[in-house]
């Protein structure tokens, strides 16, 4: 797949099929106007892999108008301009200049994770609404500072967990609380990926599954490397760090802030338990023995002691199978149809013996029909509506803090090689 590839499943529900404007599935209160009468004026910071998907969406929906774009890599800046669908768009190499643009009402931050804290705080102080990609940040201290800025400035802030756009999570959670599964004691989630030897996970170039390597000499010419590094350790240009930053600790948190955060946020959207009491995590570079620092195998066990529930995440980058969110009660289990960020449907099965070779799959005792559910706006539309109404988005700063504490518990447990506990009074991992 080349760098002009289409929108992946990571984009919003049905965008490629039905057109962005059709996704406004619930009425919005937009200062008394229709969604098209007062589009939110958006500035994009970062148009790399995920950022490109997001600007293709906002550039096509009637409820937003992309007025500015910022990227320190010229080819990404160029494709952001092309996707913005606005001949009068302003371009910036420094995000602070974009924040000073009075036309920008809201910013969409889709940069490497080590930039999220400073950009979010600066945007909040500048009076901008904020959509920020996950994982939210790299430390609990940073998460506290971000939450404080959002609260102080009364900023509308949405974290980019698009699994929250599906009513199945709320409806499934309601059934669990009503006792439809019996006492809930175990939840299993995971991400599995088995890529070819010449196409490892996270080793793409500018878009998911794009392995056409740009000329490094030209990349150096087109990139402001020092601006890209920001607060990270100052090193000479390293193309693997630039393209494959999720593999290296200075810029992100590996599977913790990427894949685990999606799945555990979905569990949170269903159960609403908050931050786990304890976590025990182990990981290793089991297969992709290149120069990466973050493990390709990541197994985290979380305990919710008051609820008597264990949640397990399995992250495997050398095996391909489905591990959809599965909620196991004493009397029945609820199985969703896809990974957390795409899970829009579920079925309930009676408790029974394990699957055996040659056996027949049991029939579900309940099938959720999403066509009969409440109609929700997708995740970006929820944010854009809240910019106008002043309401809190579904994945606001409080939910973002829960997400961050949860995935950082797995990271600290891995590095400390021991179980860690959440101290709710100090709001610290101990």
Taking CA atoms, 285 is separated from 141, 208, 254, 294, 298, in Å, by 28, 21, 12, 7, 9
Tracing tokens 């996704």 back to the chain, one arrives at 23
Per-residue pLDDT of the chain (430 residues), as tens digits, is 333 333 334 444 343 333 333 333 333 333 333 445 799 999 999 999 999 999 999 999 999 999 999 999 999 999 999 999 999 999 999 999 999 999 999 999 999 999 999 999 999 999 999 999 999 999 999 999 999 999 999 999 999 999 999 999 999 999 999 999 999 999 999 999 988 989 998 999 999 999 999 999 999 999 999 999 999 999 999 999 999 999 999 999 999 999 999 999 999 999 999 999 999 999 999 999 999 999 999 999 999 999 999 999 999 999 888 799 999 999 999 999 999 999 999 999 998 776 666 667 789 999 999 999 999 999 999 999 999 999 999 999 999 999 999 999 999 999 999 999 999 999 999 9
The single-letter DSSP state of residue 258 is I
Q: Are 410 and 256 in contact (CB under 8 A)?
A: yes
What pLDDT shows up at residue 25?
Answer: 33
Determine the topology of domain 166-198+254-373+398-429 in CATH.
Dihydrodipicolinate Reductase; domain 2 (3.30.360)
Looking only at the bridges linking them, the beta strands covering 157-159 and 129-132 are parallel
Please state whether the predicted TM-score (pTM) of the whole model is above 0.85.
Answer: yes
Question: Residue 135: is the preceding peptide bond cis (ω within 30°)?
Answer: yes
For 179-226, the DSSP string reads: TTTSSEEEEEEEEE----TTS-TT--SSSTT---PPPHHHHHHHB-HH
Tracing tokens 């309930």 back to the chain, one arrives at 348
Q: Where are the domains of the chain?
A: 166-198+254-373+398-429
DSSP run (H or E) holding 175: helix 167-177
Q: Are 116 and 93 in contact (CB under 8 A)?
A: no
What pLDDT shows up at residue 320?
Answer: 86
> Is the C-alpha dihedral spanning 151, 155, 159, 163 positive or negative?
positive
What pLDDT shows up at residue 321?
Answer: 83
What pLDDT shows up at residue 374?
Answer: 92
């Amino acid at each position: 797949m080349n760098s002009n590839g289409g929108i992946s499943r990571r984009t919003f529900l049905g965008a490629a099929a039905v057109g962005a404007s059709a996704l406004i599935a619930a009425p919005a209160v937009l200062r008394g106007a229709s969604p098209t009468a007062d589009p939110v004026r958006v500035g994009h910071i970062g148009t790399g892999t995920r950022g490109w998907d997001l600007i293709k969406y906002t550039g096509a929906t009637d409820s937003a108008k992309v007025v500015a774009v910022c990227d320190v890599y010229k080819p990404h800046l160029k494709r952001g301009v092309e996707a913005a669908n606005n001949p009068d768009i302003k371009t910036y190499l420094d995000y602070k200049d974009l924040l000073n643009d009075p036309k920008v009402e809201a910013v969409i931050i889709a940069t490497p994770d080590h930039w999220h804290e400073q950009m979010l705080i600066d945007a909040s102080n500048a009076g901008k609404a904020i959509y920020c990609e996950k994982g939210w940040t790299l430390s609990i201290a940073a998460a506290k500072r971000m939450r404080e800025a959002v609260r102080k400035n009364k900023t509308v802030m949405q974290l980019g967990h698009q699994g929250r756009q599906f009513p199945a999570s709320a409806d499934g959670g309601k059934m669990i609380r009503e006792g439809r599964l019996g006492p809930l004691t175990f939840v299993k989630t995971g991400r599995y990926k088995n890529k070819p030897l010449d196409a490892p996970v996270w080793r793409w170039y500018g878009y998911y599954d794009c392995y056409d390597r740009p000329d490094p000499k030209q990349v150096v010419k087109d990139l402001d490397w020092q601006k890209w590094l920001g607060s990270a350790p100052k090193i000479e240009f390293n193309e693997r760090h630039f393209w494959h930053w999720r593999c290296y600790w200075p810029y992100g948190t590996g599977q913790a802030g990427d894949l685990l955060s999606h799945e555990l946020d979905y569990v949170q959207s269903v159960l609403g338990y908050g931050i786990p009491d304890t976590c025990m995590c182990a990981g290793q570079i089991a297969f992709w023995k290149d120069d990466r620092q973050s493990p390709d195998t990541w197994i985290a066990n979380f305990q919710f002691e008051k609820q008597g529930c264990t949640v397990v995440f399995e992250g495997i980058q050398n095996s391909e199978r489905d591990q959809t969110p599965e909620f196991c009660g004493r009397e029945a289990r609820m199985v969703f149809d896809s990974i957390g960020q795409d899970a829009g449907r579920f079925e309930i099965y009676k408790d029974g013996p394990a699957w055996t070779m040659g056996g027949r799959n049991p029939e579900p005792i309940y099938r959720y029909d999403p066509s009969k559910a409440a109609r929700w706006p997708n995740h970006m539309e929820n944010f854009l509506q809240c910019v106008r109404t002043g309401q809190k988005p579904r994945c606001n700063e409080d939910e973002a803090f829960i997400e961050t504490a949860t995935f950082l518990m797995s990271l600290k447990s891995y590095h400390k090689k021991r179980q860690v506990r959440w101290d709710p009074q100090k709001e610290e991992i101990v």
